[in-house]
Amino acid sequence: MSEINLREFRGLLEDTFRRYLFTLNFLPDSERELRDAFRRALQADQVFSREPLLSVIPAYRPSLSTADLIGRSDAPRLHPRLSALSQGGFDPRRALYDHQVRSIELTQRGGNIVVATGTGSGKTECFLLPVLEDALQNPGRGVRAIVIYPMNALANDQLDRLRRLLRGLPEVTFGRYTGDTKWNEGDASDEQRRSILRPNERFSRNDIRSEPPHVLLTNFAMLEYLLLRPQDADIFRQQRLRYVILDEAHSYSGAQGIDVSLLMRRLREAFPECDLQFILTSATMGRDGREIADFARKLTGGQYSEDDVILGEPVSRFEADLQPPIPFEEYARVVPDEAALSRWLQNLDEMETIRRLVSQSGLAVSPAVLAESSVGGLLARWLSANKELEQIHTIASGRPVTLKDIARELWNMDGPDAVRVCEWLVALGARAVVDPEISAPLLPARYHFFFRGLRGASVCISPACPQKEPHPSTAWSNLILDDPPNCTCGAGLDRKSVV
């Protein structure tokens, strides 16, 4: 699959959205001048969109794989049946991050933990793997883990993931109990019924009550109802609960944090026979282990120390000895125009074409690089010591940035040539990986696009407005999108004529 050309893709999105806005707010032929002015206004820069932002997911220190943990007798260990996760798209051969392995170990040793690693660091695996291991080691009916989300959308995402992941593990059951959960399967649409993973999933409220799942997904408000309503008492009648997971735990602050804190204490009282373990996850708690442990202690009422806070250790996939900076002019000769950039992007799956383009780029390249047998391997070996790509990784790991921001930091320029070179480097860095099945690329990058609707439009009706000159016969003088207080001529705007 060819790489997306960022500007072409953005232009396509903007053109489509522009046509939508123009059609949605269509003006009649009797207002031809106003309609043309509206069309021109929609062509202006950043009217309804902003420059895409680039962010890079930090790489974390790798450790053992799931396959390595399977069959071990001591923590961290995983049940042999977890090899069946491969049927759900999870690769047991892929190395887990060090913080994921540490999470499994601390959890299996009976401790409460906080996983406070960054976005995209695999926090879900930190609690899901030990929860699945526990369900396999302790078969039988009854809830073993409650996963609490601050929003139903997050619970729904996890539900979809479990449906994919557990296809080969029919013995592990799960269910989602939120306000969206149907009373009976018969209340669901045909599409919803088709999505049920049988026999794992407890789909309806009555299913969950009659056959409580091993893993229960819910939100804190619904959990409070489940603990109070007599008709829901059967869900927890087995008294087998072990894990309580609070995802996005940073959201439980202020009055909501107090409510959740009291809920956790009621949960303890509801399971007097169970030794509950609390697992908190968050990407935005900072890196002060003592403060995080204090927050977790107050929120859950459980015991936490600094050693129970798992922060993760970012690492660089670049070589320790980077090459000297390459002058911008040399990069500009590689992709002097959009056609050259498109040639690279469209052929990132064509080994021989990429080998030729790299060889003819004019940049330093060794015979060993050209001898690589895959595109990802060739690019990884070629770029692993590239100083500019390493700088892009550092800049975009710290904060989302535009390509213009990166070009200014690298070369103190932000013209189209510099932006094109940045786009080229990002595209190649994102494909630079020896084995995509078991490792991440040099630059695990993603772009964020921002679009919004119009808040309205206003017309200036001042006859003295200079903008009236091209259309002297109209009752209006100037059309301005959105809702400023005044026209460029200084006159107040008529907001009765909102498009």
Q: Give the pLDDT confidence of 436-481 residue by residue, as tens digits.
A: 766 789 999 999 999 988 888 888 888 889 988 888 888 888 888 8
HEC string of the chain equals CCCCCHHHHHHHHHHHHHHHHHHHCCCCHHHHHHHHHHHHHHHCCCCCEEEEEEEECCEECEEEEHHHHECCCCCCCECHHHHHHHHHCCCCCCEEEHHHHHHHHHHHCCCCEEECCCCCCCHHHHHHHHHHHHHHHCCCCCCCEEEEECCHHHHHHHHHHHHHHCCCCCCCCEEECCCCCCCCHHHCCHHHHHHCCCCCEECCHHHHHHCCCCEEEEEHHHHHHHHHCHHHHHHHCCCCCCEEEECCHHHCCHHHHHHHHHHHHHHHHHCCCCCCEEEEECCCCCCCHHHHHHHHHHHHCCCCCHHHEECCCEECCCCCCCCCCCCHHHHHHHCCCHHHHHHHHHCCCCHHHHHHHHHCCCCCCCHHHHCCCCHHHHHHHHHCCCHHHHHHHHHHHHCCECHHHHHHHHHCCCCHHHHHHHHHHHHHHHHCCCCCCCCCCCCCEEEEEEECCCCCEEEECCCCCHHHCCCCCCCCCEEEECCCCECCCCCECECCCCC
pLDDT of residue 497: 41
* Over residues 371-375, mean pLDDT: 94
pLDDT band at 298 (very low <50, low <70, confident <90, very high): very high
pLDDT of residue 406: 97
pLDDT of residue 128: 97
Classify residue 261 as exposed, middle or buried by CB count within 10 Å of its CB (0-12, 13-18, 19+).
middle
Q: What is the residue whose two structure tokens read 């609070």?
A: 246
State yes or no: pLDDT of 203 exceeds 80: yes
State yes or no: pLDDT of 2 exceeds 60: no
Q: Give the pLDDT confidence of 326-339 residue by residue, as tens digits.
A: 999 999 999 999 99
In this structure, the dihedral spanned by the alpha carbons of residues 40, 44, 46 and 52, taken in order and rounded to 10 degrees, is 100
How far is residue 421's CA from residue 424's CA, in Å, rounded to a whole number? 5
Q: How long, in residues, is the chain? A: 499
pLDDT of residue 496: 43
State yes or no: pLDDT of 345 exceeds 70: yes
State yes or no: pLDDT of 78 exceeds 70: yes
pLDDT band at 499 (very low <50, low <70, confident <90, very high): very low
State yes or no: pLDDT of 493 exceeds 70: no
> Strand 314-315 to strand 59-60: parallel, antiparallel, or no bridges (unpaired)?
antiparallel
State yes or no: pLDDT of 498 exceeds 50: no
* Over residues 225-241, mean pLDDT: 95
pLDDT of residue 110: 96
> Strand 309-310 to strand 49-56: parallel, antiparallel, or no bridges (unpaired)?
unpaired
* Over residues 263-285, mean pLDDT: 95
pLDDT of residue 45: 85
State yes or no: pLDDT of 348 exceeds 60: yes
In this structure, the dihedral spanned by the alpha carbons of residues 192, 195, 200 and 201, taken in order and rounded to 10 degrees, is -20
Q: Considering only 80-94, 189-203, 476-490, which range has the smallest mean pLDDT?
A: 476-490
**Identity of the amino acid at 357:** L
For residues 477 and 468, the answer to whether their CB atoms sit within 8 Å is: yes
For residues 293 and 114, the answer to whether their CB atoms sit within 8 Å is: yes
Rg, C-alpha atoms of the chain: 28
Mean pLDDT of the chain, nearest integer:
92
**Identity of the amino acid at 489:** C
pLDDT of residue 440: 81
pLDDT of residue 106: 97
How far is residue 269's CA from residue 401's CA, in Å, rounded to a whole number? 48
Residue 70 phi/psi, 5-degree rounding, is: -70, 130
Q: What is the pTM of this model?
A: 0.80
Q: CA separation (Å) from 161 to 84, 120, 155?
A: 15, 15, 10
Higher pLDDT, 470 or 1: 470
**Identity of the amino acid at 467:** Q
Cβ neighbours of residue 267 closer than 8 Å, sequence gap 6 or more:
146, 223, 227, 244, 276
